Amino acid sequence: MIMINYLVNRMDFQMASFITSGLLVIIGLYGVFFVDNVLKKIIALEILGSGVNLALIAIGYNGGTIPIKLPGVSVEVFAKESAYPLTHALVLTNIVIEASMLAVMLGVSIILYKKYKTLRSSVILKED
């Protein structure tokens, strides 16, 4: 109980996000390389991508102030206290790209499934 209390007090939102991000990346990599199912591999890729996105959001985190400048707020205060929006831009871009990649991969998976009648990647992705 003491240890849990210690960890909770030590860990802020940003650090917790980084840890979660790391876990997601590891889970994603495990899924891509060790799971013998094309659909699950693709899901693992999404988990991997989400981990990276979370890392980016956490990097931009700065105490929770959203990066929208309101009237009356000085530029200096705004720059010092708001979250860094460049990381958000990267995440938005990455989400779009991931969605495109996902659509194409699923489409091709359907084509190959019709041919092989299985989703086992050791069959579908086997090199000739």
Partner 1 sequence: MNYLPMMIVFPLIMAIIMNLLHGKEKAVKYITFITAAILIILPFISQYGYYYFGGHGVVNGWVSGIAYLYNPAKQAIIVTLSLIASLVLITGMGEKLKNNMFVTLSLMGFASIAAIVLADDIFNLYVFFEIVSIVQAGLVFLSGTEEAYKAGLRYMIMGNVAAALMLLGIAFLLASTGTLNITDMKHYLLVDNPMIYGGLLLLIVGLAYGAGLPPFHNVKADLYARSKGFISAMLQTYSKFVLVGLMIIILKLFNGLDYFASAHAVLIALGVLAMVFGVVMALLQSDYKKLLAYHAISQGGYVATGLALGTPLGIVAGIFHAINHVIYKSALFLGAYIVSCKRGSNLHKLGGLLPLMPSVAFMVLCAKLAISGIPPFNGFQSKWMLAQAAMQVNMPEIAIIMIIVSIGTFVSMMKAFYLIYLKPVDEETLKEYQNKEVPKLAVFSLFVLTALCIIIGLYPDIVTNYLWDYAKELGVNYYLK
The token pair that represents 2 in the structure block:
């003491």
Return the residue of 6, 36, 93, 118 that touches partner 1, per CB under 8 A. Answer: 93
Per rule CB under 8 A, is residue 89 in the interface with partner 1?
yes
Q: Rule CB under 8 A: say whether 35 interacts with partner 1.
A: no
The amino acid sitting at 11 is: M
Closest by CA to 83, choosing from 9, 11, 10, 17, is 17
- For residues 6 and 30, which CB has a smaller minimum distance to partner 1 in the complex? 30
- Rounded to the nearest angstrom, the gap between the alpha carbon of residue 98 and the centroid of all alpha carbons in its chain is 10
Q: Judged by CB under 8 A, which of 39, 42, 43, 119 binds partner 1? A: 42
**Integer CA distances (angstroms), 86 to 57, 67, 92, in order:** 10, 10, 10
- Which range of residues in 3-11, 45-53, 62-70, 71-79 is near partner 1 by CB under 8 A? 45-53
The answer to whether the CB of 62 falls within 8 A of the CB of 87 is: no
Question: In angstroms, rounded to a whole number, what is the distance separating the alpha carbons of residues 110 and 25?
Answer: 26
In the list 34, 48, 82, 120, the residue contacting partner 1 (rule: CB under 8 A) is 48
From the number of C-beta atoms within 10 Å of its C-beta (0-12, 13-18, 19+), residue 50 rates as buried
**Is the Cβ of residue 25 or residue 83 nearer to partner 1 in the bound state?**
25
Residues of the shown chain interacting with partner 1 in the complex, contacts defined by CB under 8 A: 25, 28-29, 32, 38, 41-42, 45, 48-49, 51-52, 55-56, 59, 84, 86-87, 89-90, 93-94, 97-98, 100-101, 104-105, 108-109, 111-112, 115, 124-128
